[in-house]
Amino acid sequence: MITRLKGIFLFIICGLMTFMAVTAQETSDTLRKNAVNIFIDCHRCDMNYIREEIPYVNYVRDVKEADVYILETIQRTGSGGLAFNYIFNGRRKYAGMNDTLMYSSRPDDSSDLIRRRRTETMKMGLMRYVARTPLASEIQISHSKGLEQEEVIDRWNFWVFELETNPRFEWEELSQEVRLRNSVSANKVTPDWKIEFDFDHDLSINKYTYDDTTYVREKSSAKFDNLVVKSINDHWSAGMRLDISRSTFSNYLLHYNIYPSVEYNIYPYSEATHKQLRILYGLGHTYSHYIDTTIYNLISEHRFKQELQIAYEVQNQWGSVNLSMEASNYLHDFSKNRLELNARIHIRITKGLSFSLFGGMARIRDQLSLAKGELSEADILLRLQELATGYRIDGGLGITYTFGSIYNNVVNPRFGNRFRF
């Protein structure tokens, strides 16, 4: 009798535990189904980290299934860091609930700190949506203690300096290559002014043995760039660019360009992270003193040149577009001209399917610096000197299709990640 009662008791306990587990699972499933569906459109996000830090939403792969669409845009700041803008667009029952938040990193911030700050910014932007779901009761909000207001005095007056050296070498039995690249930059960016100074030096030495003969070839270049831009209003800017360089590849012993220019942005500059349509015109002077006599029998020349640049950039829910065109010609001979077109397009076609296309083409008729005479086989194979050409074309495309569960937020890092969101 006692044994039978024990069996009945154990049966009842197991039944209750099973009922509680099923009820808990159903409650969990209900909470998950009632969570906010979000679509994150960002550049090189660590989605595993984001899923771990923000587990109270559903990550969907199709914009049409999202309750909140999050678009991240990135621009470089005057300090050398990055400004991350997050545009929150409410959809369905959250329609009309839109917001924009920004996080700016410093140039010396670690990648881990930047990753945490980016994720925390998304957390803050999502709170207004999560607060309207049953999962709001699972969220706790806290702050760092001891916060104080402090006036920041910039002793560098917005100037940012950068030094870089990059030595490289490659050693084989019959060939050796040594390359040294150095650069120095000083930049100041404020709402009213943009001032940039850059100096780059590049030296490469190739040594190789062929038919028991040793050859040494050297390619070097040095370039100083200066850009000064004054903001006039939310559409107009004026500035000047100065370039001074020397290059064995381009046959320049000394070369400089000076271009006063004006730029008009059809959209306000304040909307630059979302869309831009900039038109720039420059008219300037160029001087060249060549290492060897050119194909036009000149050792030096002064020329006037004009440039027109048009750039269109837009980022939106359906994808992004970056188009640019640059046209230039020398005023002494309009047949000496160049036309370049470049494009990068990323479009979401339908659920899980996206298409990207990038490429460029150039019609080249302005190679004034080509050296007279025939190039050696080594110069051609090692690309030690510029070759005559009438055009340049490059490009590629990509198609991506993703499908499967829209509610799987589980992260398992074992054996690495073959597939990324």
Q: What pLDDT does residue 326 have?
A: 95
Evaluated on CA atoms 12, 13, 18, 22, the torsion sign reads positive
What residue spans define the domains of the chain?
Answer: 35-131, 232-401
Confidence category of residue 8, pLDDT binned at 50, 70, 90: low
Confidence category of residue 263, pLDDT binned at 50, 70, 90: very high
Residues 6+ apart with CB under 8 A from 296: 368
Residues 6+ apart with CB under 8 A from 48: 411, 413, 417
Percentage of the chain surpassing pLDDT 90? Answer: 33
Between 380 and 363, the higher pLDDT residue: 363
Longest alpha-carbon distance in the chain:
118
Range with the poorest average pLDDT among 20-24, 33-37, 145-149, 277-281 = 20-24
Count CA within 13 A, CB hemisphere, residue 335: 1
pLDDT at 64 over 70: yes
Q: What pLDDT does residue 18 have?
A: 46
Confidence category of residue 272, pLDDT binned at 50, 70, 90: confident
Q: What pLDDT does residue 4 have?
A: 57
What's the chain's average pLDDT?
A: 81
Mean local confidence (pLDDT), 220-242: 93
Between 326 and 96, the higher pLDDT residue: 326
Q: What pLDDT does residue 22 have?
A: 39
Q: Is the whole-model pTM more than 0.85?
A: no
CA-nearest of 315, 337, 313, 314 to 326 is 337
Please state, in angstroms and as integers, the Cα–Cα distance from residue 68 to each residue in 125, 170, 339, 420, following that order: 10, 51, 42, 21
Confidence category of residue 201, pLDDT binned at 50, 70, 90: very high
pLDDT at 412 over 50: no
Between 411 and 121, the higher pLDDT residue: 121
Q: How far is it, in rounded angstroms, from Cα 359 to Cα 394?
A: 5
Architecture of domain 35-131: 3-Layer(aba) Sandwich (3.40)
Please name the amino acid found at residue 173: E
CA-nearest of 322, 312, 243, 302 to 280 is 312
Q: What pLDDT does residue 30 have?
A: 46
Beta strands in 57-158 (DSSP E): 57-59, 68-76, 82-90, 98-104
